[in-house]
A = this chain, B = another copy of it.
Amino acid sequence: MIRVGVNGYGTIGKRVADAVAAQPDMELVGVTKTSPDYGAEGALRHGYDLYAAIDDRAAAFDEAGLATAGTLGDLLDAVDVIVDCAPAGVGERNRPTYEAHGTPAIYQGGEDAGIADASFNARASGTIRDADSLRVVSCNTTGLSRLLAPLDEAYGVEKARVTLVRRGGDPSETGRGPINDVVPDPAAVPSHHGPDVNAVLPDVTVDTAALKAPVTGMHTHSVNVTLEREPTAAAVRELLRAETRVFLIPEHAGIDGAGTLKDYAADVGRPRGDLWENCVWEESVSVQGRDLYLFQNIHQEADVVPENVDAVRTLATDVSREESVARTNEALGVGLDSLLSDDGSARGQVPADD
């Protein structure tokens, strides 16, 4: 059993904790919180041991009536791997503590690439050996890497150009904007997302332009990939359908945006309505010469969660990448398989010259 701790039980941390707890080969030792708020209560209701992330705030948990099992240092000494799910930039401040305890650590994509021995995406990263720390790339980078890796393998990516229409904030981040505006962010093009893809796919040329919009549900990517060899749209759809962490949204499912996507996720029983997969609109997948176009949605709260689980196995075991992905998918139920796309041969038949 791999003993795992989660430092920071927030948007990502709570989901990583659930995902770790669901793995037969992992034990969630506990999670930390900086203050005794509703999130801390939620951790206890889930049956997770709660640790104070900051030593001198431990008493506040007692005063609030929430029992703690210790502080961060105690958790670090009890685990094989710590998954840092602190806000962006705080991971860098936490690193000396992990290193002082000799605890292998996983960081999130909000940290600089240099924080860890390697950046990680289960689908796209090359072989990683003897790492003591990994950085799971950000939600947007994860989504782009999962898409570009199979395209590069099948057709060769000459150049990818992506506009990211990012969600302004998560549903719980009530203080963020914009309201009633679409804001270039950054106004300079290209954005950092392209170089971040190169942290896991160093040989793929990708330019990204980023905006933020007054929505909380998901990120939306408008993707263009100029391929080295001309594909058919039908073949690209089949290629993406075969990727377990890509959900090809059936054309006639009545799913038109993030709202319906998350309603669907809730309908099929996903915890928190989470979508761990890239959600690609089947209808949008089209080809003009060697130019491929598509829209995909990325659930910023969820898509990195299975990646964190695989990163834990990569740090702590010799299990192969493929085996880890299969285990993670099996334990969580990753891989949406819509009855609307698979039922009936009529829908499956796409003209070869589509």
How far, in whole Å, are A188 and B184 apart by their CA atoms in the complex?
24
Find out whether the CB atom of B281 lies under 8 angstroms from the CB atom of A215: no
The verdict on A328 contacting chain B, using a C-beta distance below 8 Å, is no
Find out whether the CB atom of A211 lies under 8 angstroms from the CB atom of B286: no
Find out whether the CB atom of A257 lies under 8 angstroms from the CB atom of B190: no
Given contacts A214-B214, A293-B189, A295-B211, contact A259 B165 (CB under 8 A): no
- Central interface residue in A163, A178, A190, A293, by most chain B CB within 10 Å: A163
How far, in whole Å, are A220 and B188 apart by their CA atoms in the complex?
15
Q: Which positions 133-189 of chain A face chain B at CB distance < 8 Å?
A: 159, 161, 163, 165, 178, 180-184, 187-189
The verdict on A207 contacting chain B, using a C-beta distance below 8 Å, is yes
Contact with B along A180-203 (1 / 0, CB 8 A): 111110011110000000000000
Find out whether the CB atom of B256 lies under 8 angstroms from the CB atom of A293: no
How far, in whole Å, are A137 and B252 apart by their CA atoms in the complex?
31
Given contacts A189-B286, A215-B214, A222-B209, contact A281 B161 (CB under 8 A): no
Contact with B along A202-217 (1 / 0, CB 8 A): 0000010101011111
Q: Which positions 302-353 of chain A face chain B at CB distance < 8 Å?
A: none
The verdict on A119 contacting chain B, using a C-beta distance below 8 Å, is no
Q: Which positions 248-278 of chain A face chain B at CB distance < 8 Å?
A: 251, 256-259
What B residues does A184 contact at CB under 8 A?
220, 256-257, 281, 284, 295
Find out whether the CB atom of A165 lies under 8 angstroms from the CB atom of B209: no
What B residues does A286 contact at CB under 8 A?
188-190
Q: How large is the interface on A (under 10, 10 to 19, 20 to 34, 35 or more residues)?
A: 35 or more
How far, in whole Å, are A214 and B159 apart by their CA atoms in the complex?
31
Q: Which residues of A contact B (CB under 8 A)?
A: 159, 161, 163, 165, 178, 180-184, 187-190, 207, 209, 211, 213-217, 220, 222, 224, 251, 256-259, 281, 283-286, 288, 291, 293-295
- What are 28 A-B contacts defined by CB distance under 8 Å? A159-B291, A165-B165, A165-B182, A165-B211, A178-B257, A181-B217, A181-B258, A181-B259, A182-B257, A183-B256, A183-B257, A184-B257, A187-B251, A187-B256, A187-B283, A188-B283, A188-B284, A189-B284, A190-B288, A207-B224, A207-B288, A207-B293, A211-B222, A213-B213, A213-B215, A214-B214, A222-B222, A224-B224
